[in-house]
Amino acid sequence: MGRNEIRLRRQKMSSGRIARHRNYGELMERHERGIKLRRMAVAAIYFLIIICLLIFYLVLRQREQQHKGVKQDSALVEKNKNGLQYQANPGSNF
Amino acid sequence: MSEAEIQHEYAILERSKKNPKAFGELYEKYFDRIFNYVFRQTDDEDLTADLCSQAFLSVLKNLERYEFRGVPFSAWLYKIASNEVNKHYRKQKGSKVFSIEELRIRELIEQANAGWDEEIIQRLMNYLKDLPTEMLEVLELRFFEDKDFKEIAFILDITESGAKMRTYRALDRLRKNFNLRIKYDGKE
């Protein structure tokens, strides 16, 4: 049973034929393109993180404001309630 | 490889970390060797060109991380090329191809003081077919790329004694089967 495929080559690959595939300029272009893509991906990730943080901050602020509004409303209701009680019963010390 | 050559290559690599264009000298120097090494494991010219290009791109990408580990830079290059080949076969899920040059086989048989003919070569092919991939990889690096055991160990990510053991075992079988007086360096 053969584990690998063994092939016998009559001739060695000529250096002229190999030279057709040797192109450092093209390799550099691919490398620079890769660097640009990587930088763009990193910038996009940072941008997304900033956007997420901003959304989180805005949501938090909105909730805080809502909470504050509810507190103010209940304080006002309480005050009004107390005011009404005083008017109805001015002698009571509450 | 002399100490001066290793130092020279190291200086080029240090320059290349700042300016990748400087790496061109090493690319020109090693491209043919890496191409032949990969071609021997694929037997497909276009695929070899792709894998070579991918290997050199990977080298450029990881140049910052390169540090001298007691083996020449070429060993690192072979290691990356070997990883690219393995990655390709993992994706393909097919059996690995070893395409060896008849001329080199004849040279090795002649060095072992044995006459060669078509029948011996055919028997040898059948013998190689049954060898485990790990042994073939070691034999290829030892007898087709002339790498020493330290470099082979680094390239294949095994220990030096492991590389020696695999070679000895493969050659012992070869001696028994073919009555060759072949030594570990390919000479008699």
A10 within domain boundaries:
no
Determine if residue A89 is left, alpha or beta; phi over 0 gives left, psi from -120 to 50 gives alpha, anything else beta.
beta
A84 within domain boundaries:
yes
Total domain count for chain A?
Answer: 1
Q: What is the interface pTM, i.e. ipTM, of the complex?
A: 0.77
Contact by Cβ (8 Å): B106, B116: yes
A33-67 pLDDT per residue, tens: 999 999 999 999 999 999 999 999 999 999 999 88
Contact by Cβ (8 Å): B40, B140: yes
Q: Do B98 and A28 touch (CB under 8 A)?
A: no
Contact by Cβ (8 Å): B63, B23: yes
* Three-class DSSP category at A7: strand
Tokens of B8: 């020279």
pLDDT tier, A82 (very low <50, low <70, confident <90, very high otherwise): confident
Tell me how far apart the alpha carbons of residues B27 and B122 are, in angstroms, rounded to a whole number: 37
pLDDT tier, A79 (very low <50, low <70, confident <90, very high otherwise): confident
A3 within domain boundaries:
no
A74 within domain boundaries:
yes
**Least confident among A79-93, B103-117, B148-162, B169-183:** A79-93
Non-local CB neighbours of B182 within 8 Å, separated by 6+ positions? B108, B111, B112, B171, B174, B175, B188
Rounded to an integer, the average pLDDT of B39-57 is 94
Domain containing A78 equals 24-88
| DSSP track, A10-50 | SSPPPHHHHHTT--HHHHHHHHHHHHHHHHHHHHHHHHHHH
Going along chain B from its start, the domains and CATH numbers come out as 3-92 (1.10.1740.10), 102-178 (1.10.10.10)
A2 within domain boundaries:
no
* R_g over Cα of chain A: 38
Tokens of A72: 């103010």
Q: Which of A93, A72, A68 is nearest to A82 (CA)?
A: A93
Residues of A with Cβ-Cβ distance to B97 under 8 angstroms: 4-7
Taking 70 as the threshold, does the pLDDT of residue B182 lie above it? no
Nearest to A3 among B60, B100, B133 (CB): B133
- Between A12 and B22, where is the model more confident? B22
- Give, in order, the Cα–Cα distances in Å from B12 to each of A48, A90, B7, B133, B155: 39, 96, 9, 35, 21
A15 within domain boundaries:
no
Q: Which of B179, B95, B170, B173 is nearest to B140 (CA)?
A: B170
Contact by Cβ (8 Å): B144, B40: yes
Nearest to A27 among B53, B104, B105 (CB): B53
A77 within domain boundaries:
yes
Taking 80 as the threshold, does the pLDDT of residue B113 lie above it? no
Instruction: Identify the contact set of chain B against chain A, taking CB-CB distances under 8 A.
Output: 20-21, 24, 27-28, 31-32, 35-36, 39, 43, 45, 48-49, 52-53, 56-57, 60-61, 95-105, 121, 125, 128-133, 136
Query: To the nearest whole percent, how much of chain B has pLDDT over 90?
Result: 46
pTM: 0.79
